[in-house]
């Protein structure tokens, strides 16, 4: 038996709340982008936060898109958790993570084109990012031979959770 909603009302509520969250969180990216544009400067913006945020949202996008779009990974999910369990990613999750990567990338682009003073990304941030992405590549190499894609995207989900905490340390 395939998973499905037992209540149309709950499904509608889930969708409405999901898209409200998408709009609210997506809106949060724009004030910084607009401020940077108006000032033609990124002085005062924490570059470490941006780099760590990019790592976080990229990992989240990989997790969301893979689980949402891949029937193979969805089957691995059902094999692990049972056919009655719903896939824990909705269209609004994919839309948000795609939007977050795009806006974070655009903000990083602004760092390169606008006045930034003597600010730069710290060596600690570069090290953290290098370790995280290197570990992700190692996990990809480990997952590849056995097509253990669910495990791999769980790694990316764990990365995004960890980066959510780490990215606020520079603040």
DSSP strands (E only) in the chain: none
Answer whether residue 19 is part of any domain. yes
Q: Is the pLDDT of residue 1 over 60?
A: no
Query: By residue range, what is the domain housing residue 84?
Result: 8-168
- Asked if the structure places residue 1 within a domain, the reply is no
8-27 vs 91-113: helix axis angle to the nearest 10? 0
Q: Is the pLDDT of residue 168 over 90?
A: no
**Is residue 22 a part of any domain in this protein?**
yes
Q: Evaluate whether residue 3 is within a structural domain.
A: no
Helix H or strand E encompassing 51: helix 47-69
> Would 2 be classed as within a structural domain?
no
Instruction: State residue 60 phi and psi, 5-degree precision.
Output: -65, -40
Q: What is the DSSP letter of 116?
A: -
Number of compact structural domains in the chain: 1
b/e sequence 107-133, b meaning 16+ C-beta within 10 Å? bbebbeeeebeeeebeeebeebbeebe
**Looking at the domain assignment, is residue 69 inside a domain?**
yes
> 2 pLDDT exceeds 60?
no
Q: What is the pLDDT of residues 22-76, one digit of tens each?
A: 999 999 999 999 999 999 999 999 999 999 999 999 999 999 999 999 999 999 9
Please check the confidence at residue 142 and state whether its pLDDT lies above 80: yes
The pLDDT score that the predictor gives to residue 157 is: 97
Whether residue 17 lies inside any domain: the answer is yes
Q: What are the Cα distances from residue 164, in Å, to 4, 59, 124, 129, 145?
A: 31, 11, 16, 13, 30
Distance CA 149, CA 70 (A): 10
pLDDT digits (tens, 9 = 90+) for 85-131: 899 999 999 999 999 999 999 999 999 999 999 999 999 999 999 99
79, part of any domain: yes
């Amino acid at each position: 038996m395939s998973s499905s909603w037992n209540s149309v009302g709950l499904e509608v509520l889930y969708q409405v709340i999901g898209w409200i969250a998408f709009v609210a969180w997506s809106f949060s990216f724009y004030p910084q982008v607009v401020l940077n544009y108006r000032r033609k400067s990124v002085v005062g913006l924490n570059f470490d936060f941006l780099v760590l945020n990019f790592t976080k949202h990229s990992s989240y996008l990989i997790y969301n898109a893979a689980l949402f779009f891949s029937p193979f990974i969805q089957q691995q999910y059902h094999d692990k958790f049972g056919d009655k369990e719903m896939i824990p990613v909705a269209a609004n999750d994919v839309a948000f993570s795609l939007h977050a990567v795009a806006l974070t990338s655009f903000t990083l682009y602004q760092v390169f084109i606008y006045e930034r003073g003597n600010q730069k990304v710290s060596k600690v941030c570069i090290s953290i990012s290098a370790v995280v992405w290197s570990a992700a590549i190692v996990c990809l190499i480990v997952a590849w031979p056995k097509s253990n894609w669910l495990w791999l995207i769980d790694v990316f989900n764990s990365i995004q959770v960890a980066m959510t905490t780490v990215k606020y340390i520079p603040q």
